[in-house]
Amino acid sequence: MNQMPGQRSNSLSRRALLRFTGAITLLAVTPLVQACSSSPGATPPSGSGSAGATTSQPTAAKPAGTAASGTSAAPATQGNTASGGKQTVEVWTGYGQGRMATAREDAINHFNQTNPKFEAKHVLVPWGNIHDKVIAATAAKNPPDVYRGWSWIVGTDAPIGGLTQLDDYIKAETNFNLDDFWPPTLYQMKYQGKIFAVSCSTIVNLLFYNKDRMQQAGLDTTSLPTDLEGWEAYGSKMMEMNGGRLAKIGFIPFIPPSDAYSLFNWGAAFGGTFYNDDTSKVTANDPANVKVLQWFKTYADKYGAANIQAFVSSYGGNNFGRNTPDGVYYTGLLAIWNIGCWNYNDMKEYGPKVNFGVTKMPMPKGVQGKPGQLNANMYLVPKGAKNPEGGFAICKFMSSDPWVAAHFEGVPDSVPPSRQSLATSGEVAKLAPWFSLMIDALHQALPFPSMPGVNPYFQSLSEAVQSVLFKNANPQQVLDEVTKKTQQDVDKALKK
């Protein structure tokens, strides 16, 4: 394979990789295992799932020595040759069960049938392990050529040279059109102005509600509240206690998921920010974010922190039972909940008899906030990939092919395509007319920050939420501490 113009060699520092590997947290893996689109949004289906002729197990990582560090892409080696003289492209995803496993297999076959140069070989890796395994394989100089991940990986791996910079590949394309991506999504594809990922779909949050629960409580399901206070009033009428314990929840703003994503999502709605890209300043203690934690605490005080903990312990596993008919979304245990748009088709798959509705993210009265959080699903080319050109071909295919938008990474996942032209195209609009509900959010929602140390930052935010809810910590104090600690980490990473 010929080297792309303007690129130079850049090997990955093993020491940097090991430092980062130690910083990986459950929070990062679980979204952001929320996206299916993990992520820091939605949790994709996980598990062994269905395999096919194009699916194999990942190659075990081999010990590797220390490599030189750097930052720019260096496509210098060619992938293995597949049948018919095509170059093999190794693709890792976690799509292993349910509708998305079938859609993934169809997408790989479609790529192989339509691309004259590359043959994709799919490797199934559970979502909860995929980033760890990529890190280990990269350190062992044996990474995949491309893998499916999430926006947080850009800010995590790009600063330590763990990703292939894609700008030159994009420039070599005749009609890639970066301006076609939703503006917050394009922001998440970049780190310090350079592109390190290409987004296939973009998660925003919506408010889901169980119409049957509402009707049982005598609530109108045709004339819905227009602000947060109205939804809170609805929720309070549907709280059910049994023996002093929570039996069914009407509305508790941090269920799901009771961590940093709850704070980030509602912080956006309350008008808060978490990072200033222009000044590289951490803003976790924004007054709006403090107000959100104070608001969360009123629910813990009203219904009992121990009761809420018991409910989460009983039902919170696997993102509150996302991939099972026994999950809280499908059994009426939740009446109103705020979650990523990926939950829409999950409702169809795991709760086909549930009479549910969905609406835009509500905001408090008089507050001009943002419609929740935004988390883009990404395809990324690790540093040291044997066939980065083929890896980019997958990135382009997954982000730009109309077939993919309609039959894989868009409609089946119930997550809008990241390209505006695809999200509003005739076929997608016909298959998923409810996507129109999210157009404003795709322009305006608050994106997870593309910043160094985003994973430890979100872990600290999760700990802050838990401390306030269950340890009676002071919201202002804990967010001041998170801001100070994370700012030190950012300044160190940026060598300030």
What CATH number corresponds to the domain at position 354?
3.40.190.10
Residue ranges making up the domain that contains 442: 14-204+375-447
Task: Give pLDDT, residue 390.
Answer: 98
In a domain, 491, yes or no: no
Of the CA atoms within 13 Å of residue 23, those in its CB half-sphere come to 20
Same domain (yes/no): 21, 62: yes
Q: What is the pLDDT of residues 9-39, one digit of tens each?
A: 334 444 444 444 444 333 333 333 333 334 3
163 DSSP assignment: B
Q: Describe the crossing of helices 454-471 and 260-269 by its angle, rounded to 10 degrees.
A: 90
How large is the angle between the packed helices 260-269 and 287-303, nearest 10 degrees? 120
Q: What is residue 426's predicted lDDT score, i.e. its pLDDT?
A: 85
| Whether residue 77 is found in the same domain as residue 143 | yes
Pick the range with the lowest mean pLDDT from 83-87, 369-373, 437-441.
83-87
Do 431 and 367 lie in a common domain? Answer: no
Q: Is residue 274 over pLDDT 50?
A: yes
Residues 218 and 195 in one domain: no
pLDDT for residue 120: 98
DSSP category for residue 247 = E
Q: Which amino acid is at 234?
A: Y
DSSP result, 260-318 = HHHHHHHHHHTT--SEETTTTEE-TT-HHHHHHHHHHHHHHHHH-HHHHHHHHHHH-HH
Looking at 115-124, 314-323, 404-413, which range is the least confident one? 314-323
295 and 186 part of one domain: no
Residues 313 and 218 in one domain: yes
Distance CA 75, CA 70 (A): 14
In 401-457, DSSP assigns E strands to: 446-447
- Structural domain count, the chain: 2
| Bond before 256 cis per omega within 30 degrees | yes
Whether 48 has a pLDDT exceeding 60, the answer reads no
In a domain, 268, yes or no: yes
Query: Do 33 and 87 sit in the same domain of this protein?
Result: yes
Same domain, 275 and 354: yes
Question: What does the pLDDT look like over 328-361, one tens digit per residue?
Answer: 999 999 999 999 999 999 999 999 999 999 999 9
Q: Is it the case that residue 483 has pLDDT exceeding 50?
A: yes
Residues 196 and 82 in one domain: yes
Task: Indicate the SS3 state at residue 241.
Answer: strand
pLDDT of 182 > 60? The answer is yes
122 and 178 housed in the same domain: yes
pLDDT in tens, 208-223: 999 999 999 999 999 9
401-442 per-position pLDDT tens digit: 999 999 999 999 999 999 999 999 889 999 999 999 999 999
Summarize the confidence of residues 123-146 as an average pLDDT. 96
Predicted structure pTM score: 0.84
